[in-house]
Structure 1
């Protein structure tokens, strides 16, 4: 594990648990307490955690990890989900993508797809996104046409938010919106942790003929702060494991098709 990877693990532990001790992190990572102490000091200097006596705490109860520090703990699952989502897209379609680790993998799969590469003069797929990192990475793909919404960027996620998102999408018609979420439940539908990102995702969904939720199984049955849309608005859920019996019943009642992605 590289020092940066170790810092990422430490930061995610703090974010998940709220508070950690030096001994907790040392046991979890199998490194010395001196190393953990240095790592916590480094993260505190970057204002990513609050240093406490004998450990560290998250900056607040609603703290969100910046995208560049998020670890793909479900990396294999997200790759499988991305492949399955790409298989749902036909050549020539337009796809709306919000930001996040899963949708970033979806964009990469769309960009690599030979099936969608229909010709040098015709876009194999048009990606409409409010995520600056996705737009930047896909801009070099000759068969991908990139359309970026307006808005103000959030440093944590590289997503553009604000009223300019909706204003720039008003005259569009998107075939499929692929949305990454932080939670999906029967009671609150698709949710995320930040209200501005929820608004932007809702604007993308509003101009799409089909809404696909790309979410690993850890998001199912979970509710976070800001609602994107109710479960009844979702057409397809692509996930990595069969949902629980209760969740499966809720999805069926809402008319949501479930696609379980398999690792290649």
Structure 2
């Protein structure tokens, strides 16, 4: 287990229990109390937890974790979702990607796809993104043309936000937009935790022929702060587990095709 993986597990433990003692962390992870104390101190220095006497507690329900602490969550599901999304992309397509762990996996899958990288006039794929980490990872892929929007980066997610996102997308026409979300319900549609990221995702969707929401089942039936778009704006939902019957009925009524990875 790497240090980053261990920190993720410590953070998950604090979030799950609300507060933990050093001895609990030590026992749960099979590490020394000195290591547990050092990990809690590091997370507290990064303002991810609050240090307490003999342990640590969560900061609050509305706190957004930085991207690097979300990467290992539902990793297998996100990789399966990414493969299913890649099947929706044809050689020569232009694809908009917002930021997040699931869309990062989608980007990696597109970047390593032999089908999209095959020779021919229509080979390759154009990726338009507001996520700096996605642009960086795909910049070395010869069959991928990268276009990065304007905007101001958020350190939590590496996403560019602000009015420059929309202005830089205004003259584009994308085949599809692939959006990662933090919540999906019938009442509020696709949502995320930050209003700037929601607006950026709306701008990407606005210039796309089809909108694909790629999210694991933990986000289904959940609502977060900022709306991206209603269900009716979504063409395809790619997820890892079939939605609950009520949500499935609402998705069908809205004309959303559901793909189970």
TM over 0.5: yes
C-alpha contact (below 8 Å) 1:12/1:71 kept by paired residues: no
Are 1:6 and 2:6 an aligned pair?
Answer: yes
Distance change >3 Å, CA 17–CA 201, structure 1 → 2:
farther
1:33 to partner: Cα distance: 3.6
Specify the alignment match of 2:85 in structure 1.
85
Deviations 1:115-143 (A, max 9, x none): 11143876510000000000011011111
1:17 to partner: Cα distance: 4.8
Specify the alignment match of 1:226 in structure 2.
226
> Aligned partners of 2:119, 2:28: CA distance in 1, in Å?
50
1:65 to partner: Cα distance: 1.1
1:220 to partner: Cα distance: 0.6
> Aligned partners of 1:106, 1:92: CA distance in 2, in Å?
16
Specify the alignment match of 2:113 in structure 1.
113
1:18 to partner: Cα distance: 4.3
Specify the alignment match of 1:180 in structure 2.
180
| Aligned 1:1-264 pairs, distance under 5 A | 1-119=1-119, 124-261=124-261
Distance change >3 Å, CA 39–CA 95, structure 1 → 2:
same
Length-normalised TM-score, structure 1: 0.93
> Aligned partners of 1:106, 1:183: CA distance in 2, in Å?
18
1:44 to partner: Cα distance: 1.7
> Aligned partners of 2:15, 2:170: CA distance in 1, in Å?
37
> Aligned partners of 1:99, 1:16: CA distance in 2, in Å?
25
Which stretches in structure 2 are left out of the alignment for 5+ residues?
none
Alpha-carbon RMSD = 1.7
Deviations 1:15-57 (A, max 9, x none): 4554333344334323344432221112222333221123222
> Aligned partners of 1:100, 1:84: CA distance in 2, in Å?
17
> Aligned partners of 2:173, 2:140: CA distance in 1, in Å?
24
Distance change >3 Å, CA 33–CA 205, structure 1 → 2:
same
C-alpha contact (below 8 Å) 1:122/1:143 kept by paired residues: no
Secondary structure at the aligned position of 1:258 is classed as strand
> Aligned partners of 2:16, 2:161: CA distance in 1, in Å?
25
Secondary structure at the aligned position of 2:177 is classed as strand
Secondary structure at the aligned position of 2:20 is classed as strand
C-alpha contact (below 8 Å) 2:125/2:143 kept by paired residues: yes
Length-normalised TM-score, structure 2: 0.94
> Aligned partners of 2:175, 2:228: CA distance in 1, in Å?
18
Aligned residues: 261
1:253 to partner: Cα distance: 1.1
